[in-house]
């Protein structure tokens, strides 16, 4: 495709505003064309940071706008149903932050309405599926190396939650991610759920049932348990272990995917080559350089990273190194003083 996708971002609270920045600065092949928020002043503030973006005051108008190719929905959950149906009506692809809608019934209506279009237009923002570790874990399961998954253990810990967070929100806003992870990894539906609320953390707000332990049973009878604990005071810890027929694998220990790879051996994969190791570094390098060049017209500095001097210094050290390789003796590095070069 030749042209950039023109996106309308609806709802520019923290998450929506992040998406605006992301699409503008990081994503290739798309730009923010329209910004909408129920607080119009907020929409304007955000739109002003994006060249070429304009504000549309009504969310349905924004969706219907002929100069909008696709929609990002970061509005409050209760508005999703109406906005999603509008997207379907106008045939606009939509990336909808969770929840799809705020009730099972209306979610099902949205599913049916999309099915009636004969297209897949709605994506839901379960972003963990795009996390490198979850992708690795899923790929490992799909490879068949571990055989069939039998049991999944999840832990989901937050240091703290906002004051209005209640016991049901632990299920709907936190556990929901483990629900999607379980369905994603096991490729089947959950048919039974049990929530155990043991004696609560004394440090949790009065009345909050925290931690909670959820137990899922799947269609084929597999077991998933998930600890959700949102007032740990420690950090954000999200961990998943799959125990399978021929081994187990765990992610979320801050050490990458760890698996039992063979009888008696526990291991991780070592990066096979420089592309895997430094591929992302190239992306960062070029993006920062592009940004620096954009900024350079004003400063005269078109560089964000090592410059010519660093290339020269490396050459001088390596030259001495090759001499030392021949002699085995220490060799002094012969370089001019940087101060002797005005401007270097």
**β-pairing verdict for 30-36 and 94-96:** unpaired
CB 45 to its own copies: min, Å: 19
* Neighbouring residues of 64: CB distance < 8 A, sequence distance ≥ 6: 86, 90
Residue whose CB is less far from its own copies, 57 or 115: 115
Q: Residue 112, Cβ neighbours under 10 Å: how many? A: 9
CB 161 to its own copies: min, Å: 12
What φ, ψ does residue 325 adopt, rounded to 5°? -55, -40
Element at 222 (helix H, strand E):
none
CB 57 to its own copies: min, Å: 25
CB 103 to its own copies: min, Å: 7
Residue whose CB is less far from its own copies, 40 or 77: 77
Residue whose CB is less far from its own copies, 55 or 84: 84
CB 12 to its own copies: min, Å: 15
Residue 240 contacts residue 250 (beta carbons within 8 Å): yes
Residue whose CB is less far from its own copies, 47 or 72: 72
Residue 87 contacts residue 64 (beta carbons within 8 Å): no
Which residue(s) pair with 157 in the sheet?
229, 237
Residue whose CB is less far from its own copies, 43 or 152: 152
Of 243, 117, 107, 263, the C-alpha closest to 185 is 243
DSSP-derived secondary structure letter, 70? E
């Amino acid at each position: 495709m030749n042209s950039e996708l023109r996106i309308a971002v609806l709802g520019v609270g923290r998450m929506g505003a992040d998406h605006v920045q992301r699409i503008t600065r990081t994503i290739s092949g798309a730009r923010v064309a329209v910004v909408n928020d129920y607080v119009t002043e907020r929409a304007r503030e955000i739109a002003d940071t994006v060249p070429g973006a304009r504000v549309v005051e009504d969310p349905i108008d924004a969706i219907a706008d002929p100069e909008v190719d696709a929609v990002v929905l970061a509005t409050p959950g209760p508005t999703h149903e109406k906005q999603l149906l509008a997207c379907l009506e106008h045939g606009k692809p939509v990336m909808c932050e969770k929840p799809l809608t705020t009730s099972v019934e209306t979610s099902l209506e949205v599913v049916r309405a999309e099915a009636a279009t004969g297209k897949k237009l709605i994506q839901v923002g379960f972003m963990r599926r795009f996390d490198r570790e979850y992708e690795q874990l899923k790929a490992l399961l799909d490879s068949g190396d571990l055989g069939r998954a039998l049991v999944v253990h999840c832990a989901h810990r937050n240091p703290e939650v906002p004051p209005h967070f209640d016991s049901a929100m632990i299920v709907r806003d936190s556990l929901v991610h483990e629900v999607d992870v379980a369905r994603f990894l096991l490729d089947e539906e959950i048919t039974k759920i049990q929530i155990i609320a043991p004696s609560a953390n004394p440090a949790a707000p009065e009345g909050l049932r925290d931690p909670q332990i959820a137990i899922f049973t799947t269609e084929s009878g597999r077991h998933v348990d998930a600890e959700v604990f949102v007032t740990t005071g420690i950090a954000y810890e999200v961990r998943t272990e799959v125990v399978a027929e021929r081994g187990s694998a765990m992610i979320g220990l801050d050490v990458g995917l760890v698996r039992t790879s063979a009888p008696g051996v526990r291991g991780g994969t070592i990066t096979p080559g420089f592309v895997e190791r430094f591929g992302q570094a190239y992306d960062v390098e070029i993006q920062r350089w592009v940004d620096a060049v954009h900024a350079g017209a004003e400063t005269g500095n078109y560089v964000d990273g090592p410059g010519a001097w660093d290339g020269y210094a490396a050459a001088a050290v390596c030259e001495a190194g090759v001499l030392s390789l021949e002699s085995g003796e220490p060799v002094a590095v012969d370089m001019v003083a940087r101060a002797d070069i005005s401007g270097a």
